[in-house]
Amino acid sequence: MSKAVQKLFTEIAPKYDFLNHCLSLTIDRRWRDRAVGRLKGQKLTRILDLCAGTLDLSQGLLEEFPRAQVVAVDFSLAMLESGRQKVATSMACHLLCADGHSLPLLDESFDAVVCGFGIRNLECRQRAIEEIHRVLKPGGHLLILEFFRPEGGLAKAFYQTYGRFVIPKLGGLISKNPEAYQYLQDSIQRFYSIYEYQALLRDNGFSDVETQKLSGGIAHEILACKSPKIED
Ligand SMILES: C[S@@+](CC[C@H](N)C(=O)[O-])C[C@H]1O[C@@H](n2cnc3c(N)ncnc32)[C@H](O)[C@@H]1O
């Protein structure tokens, strides 16, 4: 677990929602709504919201799946506390402050795992995907929203301009933590491309990997299935 990343999110927690909506011109809400919609129609009773942050996805999941239990995991208590109000009326949301690399959760105990803009922050990518795979039931779904390293086109131009000059400046000014918003941008350039991440998923027991560009490839949504067990 990275103490530096944990400290960073703890420091920006009070301003996280405001800055997210402001820097994305509220498009982030649409991305999350759309992601929750992708799971619609599935029979989900236990859902893990990994790197749940201020609980926007958890809130959406509870609305879409009123009979499901949602376990929201994040290693920054301040992020979870900032969002607690959003799920306060639900008895079905369980907040858990824990490291995503080592989840205190049983094997094969979730029908779905969602991770919104968190997978890039889990420093050991291999360990993180193994943990997700472990807690998912065979046939269960993994849904990821993330900013992958752009390889060209509109997304690359966006990151070289708005991402490079506006986000660190504005984010730094409002959060009073310029390092945090610089880190968030730099971490995109150091992260996998969407193609590399698809390969990681396939190499780690996921199949039916579907990806969707969001806003011209600025973000991506991935839906993948934990390959069912083959009985001999
Ligand atoms: C960019 S925020 C995303 C929050 C939320 N899912 C959303 O859609 O806005 C990333 C979150 O991942 C959490 N995080 C980063 N590394 C983690 C780790 N190793 N274990 C658990 N949570 C982690 C951070 O504390 C932060 O709340």
Domain boundaries of the chain, sorted by first residue? 3-226
Position 113 confidence tier, pLDDT thresholds 50, 70, 90: very high
Give the Cα-Cα-Cα angle 92, 108, 31 (nearest 5 degrees). Answer: 55
SS3 104: coil
Residue with CA nearest ligand 1 atom 8: 116
Strands (E), 43-170: 46-50, 69-74, 93-97, 110-116, 136-146
CATH of domain 3-226: 3.40.50.150
Tell me which of 83-87, 143-147, 174-178 is least confident.
174-178
Tell me the two tokens of residue 211: 């990806």
Q: Which residues line ligand 1 (CB under 6 A)?
A: 1, 5, 9, 51-53, 56-57, 74-76, 79, 99-101, 116-118, 121-122
Tell me the two tokens of residue 188: 């995109």
For residue range 33-84, list pLDDT tens digits in order: 999 999 999 999 999 999 999 999 999 999 999 999 999 999 999 999 999 9
Q: Please tell me the distance between residue 117's alpha carbon and the centre of ligand 1 in angstroms.
A: 7
* d(C-alpha 193, C-alpha 120), whole Å: 11
**Ligand 1 nearest-atom number relative to CA 100:** 20
Position 232 confidence tier, pLDDT thresholds 50, 70, 90: low
Give the up-direction half-sphere exposure of residue 164: CA atoms within 13 A in the CB hemisphere: 8
For residue range 161-178, list pLDDT tens digits in order: 888 888 888 888 888 888
